[in-house]
Amino acid sequence: MVLKAADGKATGRQLDLQMDAAGQPALATLSGNVVYAGDEPLRQVRAEAAKVEVSFSKAGAGRAPTHAVFSGAVRMMERVRAEQQSGRWNSRELTGGKVETWMTEGPGGRMLLRNAVSTGNARLVESEDPAGLKPDAAVRTELAADELKAVMKPAGNSTSVDRVLGKGNTIWRQVTAAGAEQTSMGETLEASFRPADRVVAKGKSGAADGLQSTGEIEDAVQEGHVTMTRRLPGKRKGEAEEVQHATADRVAYNGGSDQLVLSGGVRMNDASGAMWAQQVSIERSSGDAHAAGPVKAEYVQQAGSGDAGSEPMHILAQRAEVRKGNDSAIFYGSPVRVWQGGNQVQAPEVQVERANKRMTALSGGAPFGVRTILVGAGNGGGAGQTGGPAGVVPACGTANAATSQKSAGRQPAGNAVRISSGELVYSGALHQVEFTGGVRAEMTDETVQAAQATAFLGKQNGKSAGPGLLEGGVERIVADGAVVLTRPGTRVSGEHLLYQAAERSFVLKGGEQPARAVDARGSTTAAAFHFSACDNTLQALGEEPGTPSRKVETESTATGAKREKASR
């Protein structure tokens, strides 16, 4: 059985036709492998179903179809192009167990699609020829749900998709010209399509002029336990693709800015770690993200780094900016808190550059606004750890039964160093932390102040400092510029200090002027001073290795203000 129309024909095994009182068709039922095909120079249409019921208008001499119900493995396809000589076709395809369509009369009496509802594994796919498109332009857009409703809009002598509404198990998938793929799933979906930006040439052989859909989504909102996966091709040939995951209560897309906004319990993760926030805005073209808080992040060691089993680095902040291009992030807070194991940093601003294995903490101009805690190289960061095998007495300065703190999260006082500074720069490649802008370091009973200092990190429980993470225990600290070492009853000043954490020893050298020590008994000047916190001794040194010797001069004050001066 064949039914012909002005722009195509339908075939099927059986036709049942109901006529009205005027002898005009009212309802037509075509069943048995129904196929509709229409082939025009600028538009090709094909529809397949097991059964089709078509209702006709009740007015007019030539009754036109106004409503149709397609059932049984329904598939509807349309291809359009801008001009007859062009080989670039854009297409859309609608599938489902059942599809209802409503038609409206267009220019010249031609019936045009007004609305369509698909149920039962409903799916709408819009495809565009990628030739000449930008790499981030969508070439395939796929919408799926238990129920999809497509609302059309006039486009010259045709119609194009205006909005699509999805209910139940919705899926939104887009593929760009560069091969990036993004898929999100949720309970509901509403998508508005971008107005067509190409004008179809005036028709030939019956083709009509007008605008056609570009297939690009202008705005979209997906809600209800949304999960999203983004797959990015490798940057270099042979490089594995990058996979990113996210979950949120709601995802909104703005086509004008090409930006996604995830809100409500947002969690994002990839191979390098995870981030939690209340809201995250993602620029799809660059992958950059802006997170609003509270924000929590975790960075882990990449596979193959040699320390892949290390503890993650944790960050708490109020907001964050992530730069995908150079694998970096900036965190802001009052303050931002960073920790890994026993090592901790607090500052108003923290910058993490994973590609460069670097972290920077800034005080925002506040004196000593960056606060750091570094554990000793032998300390694993947990309470009650000894830093050595049972039965062996640890070296001076390592954790032991006398110095260990039993409260969880606190470090043995003899090992931890608390440092305040104006700025901090951590290098995972060099395993060191540079402090500038004025530095104050606090040990057990000692305090060091200087213009700048560098802490060198070593192994922590047998593991070396990991690249790019705040990992490893402090082995030694070098301080320079107006250095002052104070301890109860003693003050030593100079220009250069070396602190050895394992021995808890300090060597403070002078510069153009000799180093100077002052206590209740008087003052002493020398080339350098050596102080041991283990046995609480201060030794004046007359010379430094490789430098000329100096006199050691001592001025002492006895009871009754009698002053004595000696030199050697």
Full DSSP string of 190-255: EEEEPPP--EEPPPSTTPPPEE-----EEEEEEEEEEEEEEEE--SSTTPPPEEEEEEEEEEEEET
Residue 368 near residue 440 (C-beta atoms within 8 A): yes
Average pLDDT for the chain: 82
Nearby residues of 479 by Cβ (< 8 Å), 6 or more positions away: 439, 441, 448, 450, 452, 453, 454, 496, 497, 499
For 463-511, the pLDDT digits (tens) are: 555 545 677 889 999 999 999 999 999 999 999 999 999 889 999 999 9
Residue 328 near residue 355 (C-beta atoms within 8 A): yes
For 431-450, the pLDDT digits (tens) are: 999 999 999 999 989 999 99
Q: What is the DSSP letter of 134?
A: -
Q: For the residues 143-164, what does the mean pLDDT come to?
A: 86
Q: Looking at the domain assignment, is residue 167 inside a domain?
A: no
Pairing of strands 528-532, 537-541: antiparallel
Closest CA to 77 of 13, 137, 8: 8
Q: What is the pLDDT of residue 131?
A: 81
| Residue 384, domain extent | 326-568
Question: How far is residue 72 from each of residues 47, 75, 149, measured CA to CA in Å?
Answer: 12, 9, 18
Q: Looking at the domain assignment, is residue 122 inside a domain?
A: no
Q: What is the pLDDT of residue 354?
A: 86
Q: What is the pLDDT of residue 469?
A: 67
Q: Looking at the domain assignment, is residue 397 inside a domain?
A: yes
For 329-375, the pLDDT digits (tens) are: 999 999 999 999 889 999 999 999 988 889 999 999 889 999 999 98
Band (553; pLDDT cuts 50, 70, 90): low
In this prediction, what percent of the chain has a pLDDT beyond 90? 47
Backbone φ, ψ for residue 450 (5° rounding): -160, 170
Q: What is the pLDDT of residue 5?
A: 66
Q: What is the CATH number for 351?
A: 2.60.450.10
Residue 55 or residue 84, greater confidence: 55
Structure tokens at 311: 């503890």
Closest CA to 373 of 468, 474, 488: 474
Q: What is the pLDDT of residue 568?
A: 44
Q: What is the pLDDT of residue 25?
A: 84
Say if residue 208's pLDDT is above 50. Answer: no
Half-sphere exposure of 427 (CA within 13 A, CB side): 9
Question: How far is residue 3 from each of residues 32, 37, 129, 301, 332, measured CA to CA in Å?
Answer: 14, 11, 33, 66, 69
Q: What is the pLDDT of residue 250?
A: 97
Count: domains in the chain:
1
Backbone φ, ψ for residue 107 (5° rounding): -55, 140
Structure tokens at 292: 């609003």
211-229: string of b/e by CB count within 10 Å (b at 16+)? bbbbbbbbebbbbeebebe
Structure tokens at 199: 């004008």
Q: What is the pLDDT of residue 558?
A: 44
Q: What is the pLDDT of residue 409?
A: 36
Least confident of 51-55, 160-164, 213-217, 409-413: 409-413
438-470: string of b/e by CB count within 10 Å (b at 16+)? bbbbebeebebbbbbbbbbbbebeebbbbbbbb
For 242-292, the pLDDT digits (tens) are: 899 999 999 999 988 889 999 999 999 988 889 999 999 999 888 899 999
First to last CA, the chain: 122
How far is residue 177's CA from residue 141's CA, in Å, rounded to a whole number? 12
Q: Looking at the domain assignment, is residue 344 inside a domain?
A: yes
Q: For the residues 139-162, what does the mean pLDDT come to?
A: 86
